[in-house]
Amino acid sequence: MQVAGQVAPLTVKPLAMKRCLANLLENAVFYGQRARVTLEEQAGVVRLHIHASGPGIPKDQLGRVFSPFVRLEVSRSRHTGGSGLGLGIARHIARAHGGDITLTNHPAGGLLATLTLPRQSSVTDL
């Protein structure tokens, strides 16, 4: 993991955040075979960027993949495609912490997932 400067610890619900990060990283590695992670903080906002070196996602599908049971891969096997819940769960956890997750296709190829969390957060019920 590359860290831009130093980022102080962030107060989160640890098991929920572990699940959020695991879902994002597992998707990145599964669909992109590898991922580069960077972390930064600016103006009280912490951003974790996960750049997966896979094919990316069609632009018109970027928001849709957060919906329950949506999978872009046509396989019905859980071993090759999952259930389509991971990104939705990750976004729910991020939003419960006052943050969000966005997906964009990286100009150099692959997909960039960005988890944004405010430094001052009041965690809602999960």
Q: What is the pLDDT of residues 2-27, one digit of tens each?
A: 445 577 888 899 999 999 999 999 98
Under 8 Å CB-to-CB from 36, ≥6 apart: which residues? 2, 50, 51, 53
Partners of 100 in beta bridges: 116
Least confidently predicted of 1-5, 63-67, 114-118: 1-5
Task: Give the domain ranges of the chain.
Answer: 2-106
Q: Give the pLDDT score at 21.
A: 96
The class (CATH top level) of 2-106 is alpha beta
| CA dist., res. 118 & res. 27, Å (int) | 24
pLDDT in tens, 66-76: 766 555 554 44
